[in-house]
Amino acid sequence: MSEATPVPAAIQAIDVVKVFDGGLVRALDGVTMTVGRGEFVAVMGPSGSGKSTLLHLVAALDVPTSGTIIVSGRDLRSAGNERFRRSEVGLVFQLHNLLPHLNTLENVEVPMFSNGMGHRQQRERARELLEAVGLSAKEKTTPPRLSGGERQRLAIARALANHPSIILADEPTGSLDSDSAERILSLFRRIRKERAVTIMLVTHDLHVAAVADRIMYMRDGRIVKDPPAAVHLTASG
């Protein structure tokens, strides 16, 4: 019987180190990991374990002190990461980062302003995404008038605007009630199934992490093979 063909990597970190405060804080300490294309991975760990720092490096929002990060075959040490991030990566944060003076339709259009798409195409794409996340009836509503769950669904629609191959989510359900959180998790599962995107999600909640294909545990800036005894610690990293 022939061996199964390995899944190509969407994200690779190779011996990644990240220090702050002149080396006094070692947030990542030689992290090596791989996330396959189309895989859904949850990253867990106690406060200060380095999980959010790792996500920010993968998103090219920061650079490692040493080591290599490769996303969709691109070494992030190369130039032009801002354009690469806009086209390949969709970001979802706990606090949404929506523009409060723009309505939902306009918020989804914002990432498309620099992709060369015409305004009519942008608007059609935004409407398609609002429908996909169940917000078609709210296209003229501004974020302050949406519920927490609706704002997070809007943030996911915006993250999908430029057809990213990877979604990076940092505590996307952390500020939501249980019903809203379940709806967001169902949306992530559907996006993964229908659009074949890779999802890397940071969470402190084991219930949230359980929807992923696998859970990656971090402690003291390293990835550990066995989960810590208190894996359900309620603190962000």
Reply yes or no on whether the pLDDT at 234 is more than 50. Answer: no
CA dist 17 and 27 (Å) reads: 8
The pTM is what?
Answer: 0.87
Reply yes or no on whether the pLDDT at 16 is more than 60. Answer: yes
Cβ neighbours of 56 (radius 10 Å): 18
Q: What is the pLDDT of residue 233?
A: 44
Q: What is the pLDDT of residue 42?
A: 96
Tokens 């008038």 found at: 145
DSSP per-residue codes, 77-90: TSS-HHHHHHHHEE
E strand residue ranges, 94-208: 166-170, 198-202
Six token digits for residue 130: 């609002």
- Weakest mean pLDDT among 97-101, 114-118, 127-131, 212-216: 114-118
Sign of the dihedral defined by the CA atoms of residues 201, 207, 211, 213, in that order: positive
**Mean pLDDT for the stretch of residues 117-126:** 90
pLDDT in tens, 145-191: 999 999 999 999 999 998 999 999 999 998 888 999 999 999 999 99
210-216: long-range contacts (C-beta < 8 A, 24 or more apart)?
Answer: 210/42, 211/40, 211/42, 211/185, 212/40, 212/41, 212/42, 213/39, 213/40, 213/41, 214/39, 214/41, 214/42, 215/41, 215/42, 215/43, 215/44, 216/33, 216/41, 216/42, 216/43, 216/44
Cα Rg of the chain (Å, integer):
18
What is the homologous superfamily of the domain 9-224 according to CATH?
A: P-loop containing nucleotide triphosphate hydrolases (3.40.50.300)
pLDDT in tens, 43-61: 999 888 999 999 999 999 8
In terms of C-beta density within 10 A (0-12 exposed, 13-18 middle, 19 or more buried), how is residue 90 classed?
A: buried
Question: Which helix H or strand E contains 109, and what residues bound it?
Answer: helix 104-109
Q: What are phi and psi of 72, to 5 degrees?
A: 50, 40
| Domain range summary for the chain, segments of one domain joined by + | 9-224
